[in-house]
């Protein structure tokens, strides 16, 4: 166990928690910076989020109404990306995965130019952080069309994973097969947003049909012993974002967060921020909130922290 991390939890010492190496494996890059960092950088006031955002639709309405107008446009998108790396430095994120939509990459012009910008921030803020770029598509996308043009994003080898976001059950899982087959050719880690609003059965189906090895959210797996056993047996990792789940109204509070049931049933989980700019809960706060609520023990939280750092020599 890491003394620094464990002491940070038990002593409520934020500096110790900030100093301990952690990961953030689910972070939507354009919403991945800290609200206060962005407000200071842009020299503006930014409103705090309300306690409840009423689902993904409510979140989008709030973001588009109150946050986006303050930091819209190409230059501000770059600043928000920069802020995600600034937060990785501040919070000792030793392993960081950011996801990027193709429309965002297209704004830069080419994947080469995009990589140059992103690696510039990576080098400037946290060169020791293992960084992985993830390509994300909206769930309403035409997967056949996107599969035809995925090469322009993946041929450089910069993207390490693929994801689908933006609402579940918009199309059957089979519809995404062309895209995931192409992703496999490029050896991308196959992930998807599923089981946040969808069912435990959806989680299992998505894994079986698309060959996923990681799931963003997947919290509703906790209602099915069979699905949890399936996930545990197949070493499928769930990247969980507690504050996101609570603020969107999918989970009542930290105390009753299903991460406890998932952990106790042997499912591999990590703890992540999702949309830091919206939910305003930094990674150390996610761990602390679960500890304070009595959801998980220090030992369990430290094991989750270490699971997020797997493959790294920390």
Q: Which residues of this chain interact with Zn ion, rule CB under 5 A?
A: 274
Comparing CB distances to Zn ion, the nearer of 214 and 274 is 274
Check: CB of residue 162 under 8 Å from CB of residue 180.
yes
Nearer of residues 146 and 274 to Zn ion, judged by Cβ:
274
Q: Which is nearer to Zn ion, 274 or 284 (CB)?
A: 274
Please state the closest distance from residue 63 (CB atom) to Zn ion, in A. Answer: 13
User: Shortest CA distance to 135 belongs to which of 148, 151, 124?
Assistant: 151
List phi, psi (to 5°) of 120. Answer: -60, -45
Closest CA to 215 of 170, 270, 289, 166: 270
Output 71 or 240, the one with its CB closest to Zn ion. 240
Nearest-approach distance from CB 299 to Zn ion, in angstroms = 28
Beta bridge partners of 270: 239
Q: What are the angstrom distances between the C-alpha of 92 and each of 96, 214, 283?
A: 10, 23, 10
From the CB of 29, what's the least distance to Zn ion, in Å?
Answer: 11
Q: Considering the complex, state which of residue 120 and residue 167 has its C-beta at the smaller distance from Zn ion.
A: 167
Q: State the nearest-atom distance from the C-beta of 276 to Zn ion, in Å.
A: 11
Nearer to Zn ion, 82 or 274 (CB): 274
A 10 A CB-CB count for 294 gives 10
Cα 172 to Cα 146, 201, 205, 220, 226: the distances in Å are 16, 13, 10, 18, 22
Burial of 293 (C-beta count, 10 Å sphere; 0-12/13-18/19+) = middle
The burial class, CB within 10 Å (0-12 / 13-18 / 19+), for 192 is: buried
Nearer to Zn ion, 138 or 178 (CB): 138
Write down the least CB distance from residue 110 to Zn ion, Å: 26
Q: How far apart are CA 301 and CA 270, in angstroms?
A: 9
Q: Give me the least distance between CB of 133 and Zn ion, in Å please.
A: 15
For the record, the structure tokens of 294 come out as: 């009595």
Residue 249 backbone zone (phi > 0: left; psi -120 to 50: alpha; other: beta): left
Contacts of 158 (CB under 8 A, 6+ apart): 111, 114, 115, 133
Query: Whole-number minimum distance, CB 217 to Zn ion, in Å?
Result: 7
Nearer to Zn ion, 5 or 139 (CB): 139
Query: Which residue in the shown chain puts its C-beta closest to Zn ion?
Result: 274
Least distance (Å) between residue 104 CB and Zn ion: 15
């Amino acid at each position: 166990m890491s003394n620094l991390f464990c002491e940070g939890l038990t002593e409520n010492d934020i500096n110790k928690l900030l100093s301990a190496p952690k990961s953030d494996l689910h972070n939507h890059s354009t919403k991945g910076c800290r609200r206060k960092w962005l407000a200071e950088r842009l020299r503006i006031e930014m409103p705090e989020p309300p306690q409840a955002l009423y689902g993904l639709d409510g979140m989008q309405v709030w973001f588009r109404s109150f946050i986006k107008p303050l930091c819209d446009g190409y230059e501000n998108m770059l600043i928000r990306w920069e802020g995600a790396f600034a937060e990785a430095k501040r919070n000792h994120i030793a392993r960081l995965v950011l996801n990027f939509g193709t429309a965002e990459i297209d704004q830069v012009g080419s994947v080469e130019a995009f990589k140059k910008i992103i690696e510039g921030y990576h080098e400037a803020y946290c060169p020791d952080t293992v960084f992985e770029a993830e390509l994300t598509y909206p769930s309403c996308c035409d997967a056949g069309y996107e599969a035809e043009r995925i090469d322009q994003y993946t041929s450089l080898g910069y993207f390490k994973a693929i994801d689908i976001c933006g609402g579940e059950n918009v199309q059957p899982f089979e519809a995404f097969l062309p895209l995931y087959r192409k992703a496999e050719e490029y050896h991308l880690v196959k992930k998807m947003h599923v089981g946040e609003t969808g069912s435990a059965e959806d989680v299992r189906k998505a894994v079986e049909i698309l060959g996923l090895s990681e799931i963003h959210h997947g919290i509703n797996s906790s209602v099915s012993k069979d699905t949890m056993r399936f996930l545990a047996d197949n070493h499928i990792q769930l990247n969980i974002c507690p504050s996101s789940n609570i603020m969107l109204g999918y989970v009542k509070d930290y105390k009753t967060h299903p991460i406890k049931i998932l952990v106790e049933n042997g499912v591999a989980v990590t703890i992540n921020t999702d949309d830091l700019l919206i939910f305003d809960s930094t990674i150390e706060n996610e761990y602390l909130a679960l500890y304070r609520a009595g959801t998980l023990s220090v030992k369990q939280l430290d094991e989750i922290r270490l699971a997020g750092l797997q493959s790294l020599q920390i």
